[in-house]
Chains A and B, each alone.
Chain A
């Protein structure tokens, strides 16, 4: 049993110069065999292991990660959490996650710094206005909080936005989801890792999967850089590298992996206390607790695993940011980076069994996976443990690309993907 984090443990450890904190997770070597192995130690993978252990009583499980936990897209996203998706299936999926976020810090005894500061999506033309109003109604029918704001209300909610009607893409209105917000991305991975480790999950870092061993249509285990690991169930949560793992098993997925960039500015005093997203001009901005502006850019249109991305994408985003927020014109950008996102043709994820028994995939989250981390882990754990999807992820099976029953969130999901 791990010591609980509290104000008392903080005071106690202060007396020993914070040098005697217990390790949050062990660093074990892999055992010969596990009941299930999760490939990918990001937020989604660690959450999957956590819920497998907690809700499905599977204790003999491992998470294998080729680098360090939370070092991929979990540590590279812009930490936005919202559930204002258009279609019923997506609304169910993302609001399930949002409800878990609301109690996550208490559940994990780990402060994920979930901050419900609201997410505002802007409309810049008449079609945006119609689409956003339609989405607001759809959200409310699904029990998701959403309001439509006119230009004055947008200005009142976020005073630094330039609402002049003379600019190239004037703000005509926007939607607001007050329950939405941000969280501390690293803390999510670390919190789930600590929780899973406490229940006996082996978190194995620096362990890259090199092959998947099959006997006919059944999996037998994985080849890794730390040797062969026998297992009957493999849950792959490898984000941008999902196709690479699928190819090892002889599967093809409907994914393309592309660079998505983000950047942060120098830290400044509090200036924007919410998250503002604009689909039409492609600019997202929020402010971290350190004071940095966190800015999300768009994806490049070519397949790449290089974690870089093109300069013109960043330039386009900053052009839009400056028109909407002239106050930022002299800010300097500190860091820029890219993550590799796996995008489905319908911009919705896959949480599914496959044609190979014992092989499960949780992928295709594209540009918006962080917000779903807890829900994704919970539903994927259910799918792996029962060999059947939960009703909330039934629509997100891989066969929808054969049946044609797509969940088309391209453009419908409040942002362009």
Chain B
């Protein structure tokens, strides 16, 4: 349970949001050229980091907009929140 600072609405309870998994996984530009291994990598394989992770969230019970978050998964502390398309503010 934690508070999330939605870049559009401000600070709200985490229960208003839906997690969307790992961020910055680039959709293949030429899907027809992809091998089975590359498809598996894109669709299923995840870093699943214990520590600082980049992820996507959606404010489903608010503005319904997607945004990115940098969060430490070992203690649920949020390091930064930034809009889609923006560069992450922390490394």
By a beta-carbon cutoff of 8 Å, the part of chain A in contact with chain B is 241, 243-244, 247, 252-257, 300-306, 308-312, 342, 345, 401-404
A252 and B50 contact, CB distance less than 8 A = no
**Residues of the A chain whose Cβ atoms lie less than 8 Å from the Cβ of B49:** 243, 247, 303
The docked-state distance in angstroms from the alpha carbon of A404 to that of B76 is: 33
B75 and A306 contact, CB distance less than 8 A = yes
B74 and A254 contact, CB distance less than 8 A = no
Give chain B's interface residue range (CB within 8 Å of chain A).
Answer: 20 to 34
**Residues of the B chain whose Cβ atoms lie less than 8 Å from the Cβ of A241:** 50
Chain B residue with minimal CB distance to A241?
Answer: B50
The docked-state distance in angstroms from the alpha carbon of A404 to that of B90 is: 36
Interface residue? B40 (CB, 8 A): yes
With beta carbons under 8 angstroms apart, the residue of B15, B40, B47, B71 that contacts A243 is: B47
Interface residue? B32 (CB, 8 A): no
A254 and B73 contact, CB distance less than 8 A = no
Interface residue? B86 (CB, 8 A): no
With beta carbons under 8 angstroms apart, the residue of A252, A306, A312, A401 that contacts B73 is: A306
Given that A302-B19, A402-B37 are known contacts, is A254 also in contact with B14, CB under 8 Å in the complex? no
B46 and A255 contact, CB distance less than 8 A = yes
- How distant is B61 from chain A, measured CB to nearest CB, in Å? 11
**Residues of the A chain whose Cβ atoms lie less than 8 Å from the Cβ of B57:** 302
A-B contact count (CB 8 A): 74
Beyond A252-B45, A306-B76, 16 extra complex contacts between A and B, CB < 8 Å: A244-B50, A252-B46, A253-B45, A257-B73, A300-B19, A302-B57, A303-B48, A303-B53, A306-B73, A306-B75, A311-B1, A312-B15, A345-B43, A401-B43, A402-B36, A402-B37
Chain B residue with minimal CB distance to A244?
Answer: B50
B73 and A304 contact, CB distance less than 8 A = yes
With beta carbons under 8 angstroms apart, the residue of B37, B40, B44, B73 that contacts A303 is: B73
The docked-state distance in angstroms from the alpha carbon of A312 to that of B46 is: 26
- How distant is B88 from chain A, measured CB to nearest CB, in Å? 17
The B22-63 residues at the A interface (CB cut-off 8 A) are 36-37, 39-41, 43-50, 53, 55, 57
B contacts with A: majority SS: mixed
Chain A residue with minimal CB distance to B21?
Answer: A256
**Residues of the B chain whose Cβ atoms lie less than 8 Å from the Cβ of A247:** 47, 49
**Residues of the B chain whose Cβ atoms lie less than 8 Å from the Cβ of A342:** 48
With beta carbons under 8 angstroms apart, the residue of A305, A312, A401 that contacts B50 is: A305
Interface residue? B18 (CB, 8 A): yes
Which are the 5 A-B pairs with shortest beta-carbon distances?
Answer: A302-B19, A243-B48, A254-B44, A312-B15, A402-B40
B45 and A401 contact, CB distance less than 8 A = yes
B50 and A301 contact, CB distance less than 8 A = no
With beta carbons under 8 angstroms apart, the residue of B48, B55, B73 that contacts A253 is: B48
**Residues of the A chain whose Cβ atoms lie less than 8 Å from the Cβ of B50:** 241, 243-244, 257, 305
The docked-state distance in angstroms from the alpha carbon of A87 to that of B12 is: 41
- How distant is A403 from chain B, measured CB to nearest CB, in Å? 7
The docked-state distance in angstroms from the alpha carbon of A303 to that of B46 is: 11
Chain A residue with minimal CB distance to B53?
Answer: A303
**Residues of the B chain whose Cβ atoms lie less than 8 Å from the Cβ of A402:** 36-37, 39-40
- How distant is B53 from chain A, measured CB to nearest CB, in Å? 6
B76 and A308 contact, CB distance less than 8 A = yes
The docked-state distance in angstroms from the alpha carbon of A311 to that of B15 is: 9
**Residues of the B chain whose Cβ atoms lie less than 8 Å from the Cβ of A254:** 40, 44-46
Could you give 29 example pairs across A and B, Cβ below 8 Å? A243-B47, A243-B48, A243-B50, A247-B47, A247-B49, A252-B41, A252-B45, A252-B46, A252-B47, A253-B46, A254-B40, A254-B45, A256-B46, A257-B48, A257-B73, A301-B18, A301-B19, A302-B19, A302-B55, A302-B71, A306-B73, A306-B75, A308-B1, A310-B14, A311-B15, A342-B48, A401-B45, A402-B36, A404-B36
The docked-state distance in angstroms from the alpha carbon of A409 to that of B76 is: 29
B40 and A401 contact, CB distance less than 8 A = yes
The docked-state distance in angstroms from the alpha carbon of A255 to that of B49 is: 10
Chain A residue with minimal CB distance to B2?
Answer: A310
Chain B residue with minimal CB distance to A402?
Answer: B40
